Structures are given as structure tokens and as C-alpha cells.
Amino acid sequence: MNIEKNSISVIIPTYNRLKQLQEAVQSVLEQTHLPSEIIIVNDGNKDSHFEELKKLSTLIKIFQNAKPMGGNFSRNRGAKESFGEILMFLDDDDTWEENKILDQLKCFKEENTNLVYSGRLVVYENSRSKVEYEIKSTLPKDNHFKSILKGNFIGTTSSVAVKKDVFFNVGMFDESLPAMQDYDLWIRICKLGNVRSDGKSNVRYTISRSKSTKRISNSGTNQIYAANIILEKYKHDFISENINLKKRKGRFYFYIAKSIRERSFFRSLKWIFKSFILAPSLKPIVLLFTTKPIYF
């Protein structure tokens, strides 16, 4: 693949987070290798300040959804509006380190690379300059398809660069899923062939510690609903790769428990116990007996 400057489209879906969006956009504009365009899809928010963003760079294009449609509708719309050969997605509350684009472009020089992902520097929303811990990006030992079925080693949408033709060939983000749309897409892409790690941690990934009851409740409900859909959707693939469906569901429960525990230990308890029952290991036990952030 011939990699050139004007082959990269950065897509940022956003709703009602202008300050964070400005930081996200600025991190793109400070890249050592600039993209050809930055597509912001405003998901129904009528804030007029979005027009001010256009003054930052001629690379910026803003599209407005008529009403809120969700992040993955907005990502898909951004992809449809783009002209780049490579799509890079960025959530509006995350930022990139300055070499993210350059590091990932180098990886596409390797033959048959469909997707490149990066590691994460985890920060909290109220102190984004302080890195709490790092989630490094490494390639799994098993084949990529089996590995992604066993767990989401690729990670967050903000860490990914994908060939545009591959993105459309596999069907884009599934807008019907209430959660885990990124993981569902990575499964379909890994089934096609090679993905690569850039070997760096080029994403500053923001975790919310909001105590909102609605947010905590929806986290578990939406994720387990999505997990059940994914388990059924790829049931024959799990079986053909000799992955135990019961244990895989237990691992889904563990990551749900871990996510909820950041905001409410009490509400995470049922997911911790369910995880241990289905897939016994030390990890759920650790969640019960430590108050520190869990890095695995």
C-alpha cells in the first residue's frame, strides 16, 4: 500500500463535550504527521461553538446529525463522508500522543495489514495530565482471530487505524448493539487476516469516575446484553476455535465488574461473583480484596 499524507481521515464523534473535544482535536493537530482531514460528527448537539473549531485548521470538517443517533452511527457517517484510504477514530474525551499517526502508518507498510492498534495511557477525567497506568499493546501468541474471540486485545476505538476498504467490507460498526460495538468490529476484521500493534502507547485513554447511578446501571445492563448477542452471533466460531462459551461469558462478566468497580464497589459485586462462578480464577478475587486500580 502506498502511504501518503492525504490518505488519512481522522473521525471524531462528539456530543455535548466541547472542552474535551477541543483537547482531542488539538492532539491531532499537534501530530508529527498530519492527516488529510479531521471529520467531527456532532451527534445532535446544537452548540454553536462548534463552528469556532473550524478556525483551528482547514483540515477540520463538521457534520451535524439531525438528532442524537449514538457514537457508532456517527463513526459510520464520518467514514462515509471521508476520502482517506486509512481511517483513524478518536473519541472526544481521549487524546493522542504526538507520534500516533506516524507510528501506525509505518505498520501499514507491512504486507496484508488490515488494522493497527496502539497501547493506552490511562488517565482520569479530572486529571488527564497524570498517567495512572499503562496498558501496553502486544501481539498475541495465538492466531489473531482466535485471540480476539478469547478477549479484546485490540482495545479502544481511539487506538485503531484501519484500511477504509476493509472497514466497509466487514460491514462497519453494528449500530444495533448497545455496547461493545468496537469489539464486534475487531472480531470481523481479525477474521479477514493480519492486524498489528504499533508497539507504543499512543492514546491517552480517559476513565470516568462519575457516581451517576444511571451510568453505573447501564454499564452492566448494556454490556451483558451486548455480550450475549456477540456470544450467539459468533457461536460457531467460538466452538470451532475450541473456546468454552461458559468461561468466555465469565470473562465478559469480569470486565463488566472491573468497569463498574471504578465507580461503585457495591454494584460490582454481583458481576464479580458471576465471573468467578463461570470462569474461576484469581482475578475476580483480587477485585474483592483490593481498593487500588486494577491494571490487568
User: Which pLDDT tens digit goes with each residue over 226-247?
Assistant: 999 999 999 999 999 999 999 9
- Quote helix, strand, coil % in the chain, to nearest 5: 45, 15, 35
> Looking at domain 5-207, what is its CATH homologous superfamily?
Spore Coat Polysaccharide Biosynthesis Protein SpsA; Chain A (3.90.550.10)
Q: Which residues, in sequence order, are bridge partners of residue 13?
A: 41
Tens of pLDDT, residues 17-35: 888 999 999 999 999 999 9
Rounded Cα–Cα distance for residues 75 and 53 (Å): 19
Contact 164, 79 (CB under 8 A): yes
Per-residue confidence (pLDDT) for residue 186, from 0 to 100: 98
Q: How confident is the model at residue 291 (pLDDT cuts 50, 70, 90)?
A: low
Query: What are the cell numbers at 141?
Result: 501468541
| Average pLDDT value over all residues in the chain | 88
Cβ atoms of 41 and 13 within 8 Å: the answer is yes
Compute the CA torsion angle 155, 189, 77, 209 (nearest 10 deg).
Answer: -10
pLDDT at 2: 53
Taking each helix axis from N to C end, the angle separating 265-278 and 213-233, rounded to the nearest 10 degrees, works out to 20
Enumerate the CATH 3.90.550.10 domain ranges in the chain, comma separated. Answer: 5-207
Sheet of 95-96, strand order = 95-96, 203-207, 120-124, 133-135
Which pLDDT does position 104 carry in this prediction?
96
This prediction has a pTM of 0.89
Residue corresponding to grid cell 482495545: 155
Report, as an integer, the average pLDDT of 68-94: 96
Query: Distance (Å, rounded) from C-alpha 269 to C-alpha 261?
Result: 8
Q: Is the predicted pLDDT of residue 49 greater than 80, yes or no?
A: no
